[in-house]
Amino acid sequence: MEYINGGVCAPKGFKAGGIHCGIRKNKSKKDLALIVSDVKATAAAIYTLNLVKGAPLYVTKSNISDGKAQAVICNSGNANTCNADGIEIAEKMCSLTSKALGIDEKDVIPASTGVIGEPLNITPIENGMSELVNSLSSDGSRAAAEAIMTTDTKVKEFAVSFNIGGKECKMGGIAKGSGMIHPNMATMLVFITTDAAITPELLHKALYSDAQNSFNMISIDGDTSTNDMVAVMANGLAGNDIINEENEDFEAFKKALAMITEKLCRAIAKDGEGATKLIECFVSGAKDWQTAKTVAKSVICSSLFKAAMFGADANWGRVPCAIGYSGADVDINKIDVSYSSEKGTVEVCKNGSRVEFDEDKAKKILLCDEIKVNVELHSGTASAVARGCDLTYEYVKINAEYRT
């Protein structure tokens, strides 16, 4: 398996595009994306656990209840959430897409991201549909990735090549997500394409299982979005024998999926609103995975810890503090903590107590833009990793002025 170029257009039979249709005031920002498969594909999706959900999620869930889809349409600039006509607008997006492409409107996955509680005007989408379809190309992944961005500062797209039953398969993904990220799921949207053949049941199983270790282990600000969704389309054009049982082909598919999702998660965490650093908390020696997961996310979610990382301050006491209130069953007298980056590693806590360390070395380590917090619990063999970012002045500024 290896990483390749092409994003969601890397797999056979997929095209994508993105334009500015007028939803966003800034004409230099694309705001409407389209991803299309040449043939109807197997589809699966997972959604936010927030009780308040964007209208497109309800329509998507209904449309792919048969395990099939052929296109994704997504706008940025407006979440189409908490609107009385939200379902109607989301369904209209599907209808417009179906007419423009000549496909069934029930085979369209609609998505929206942006401001919550503002009416979404369908007119710009309707007027821009012809241009959007004309923008479709086998090199259009980046344009689509740009069109789903809101406060993101970097495009997030990756692809991999892998082998199933002697057939070369490809998988690609794009994502948006910078703020309101605290998944049970995260305004995070992810669209993944593959030319591998797989049943809807196993596609959903692979996606759901993967999310527990990927998307549900990132946090930017502790706010679970209303519009989080990860959707996958698998069109089978690679020609492999369909994956219909949990065998070595299924394991290869899951490995490829994990390669894509890990890259997307790191990109989302590193591009957190106002962020200057990617923070990864690696927990080992836990008695079980749930304990490791709970500890890792508690550290990543601590505002005090995140602020210390922004200041490159080795205020290590904030790590055991976050572990202590996490609810995880751990022996606090066994906890070891160290920080590491490209500048080296410094141990700051041993058996729950401070150890003497070089403050200048720690400062150099924490000034890097990618930092690892290593937590050893000495209570078992389970491990987990959570990803997030530092908490900066810019985060407050961005969200204080979000609508203006």
How far from 79 is each of 16, 29, 107, 225, 274, CA to CA, in Å? 21, 16, 21, 10, 21
CA atoms in the 13 A half-sphere facing the CB of 336: 12
Residue type, position 351, single letter: N
Measured CA to CA, the distance from residue 140 to residue 142 in angstroms comes to: 6
Answer for the pair 147, 189: CB distance below 8 angstroms, yes or no.
no
Residues 6+ away with beta carbon under 8 Å from 40:
68, 69, 70, 103, 107, 235
Helix, strand, coil proportions of the chain in percent (round to 5)? Answer: 35, 30, 35
Element housing 319 (H / E): helix 318-324
Tokens of 389: 């970012």
Nearest to 77, CA basis, from 113, 111, 117: 113
Give Cα 193 distance to the centre of its chain.
14
| DSSP 8-state secondary structure symbol assigned to residue 4 | E
Decide if 299 contacts 279 (C-beta within 8 A): no
Residue among 169, 204, 175 at smallest CA distance from 187 = 175
CB-side neighbour CA atoms (13 Å) of 201: 5
* Catalytic residue check, 187: yes
**Of 48, 60, 97, 187, catalytic:** 187
Write the DSSP symbol of residue 218: B
Largest CA distance in the chain: 68
Find out whether 119 and 85 touch, Cβ atoms under 8 Å. Answer: yes
Q: Looking at the annotation, which residues are catalytic?
A: 187
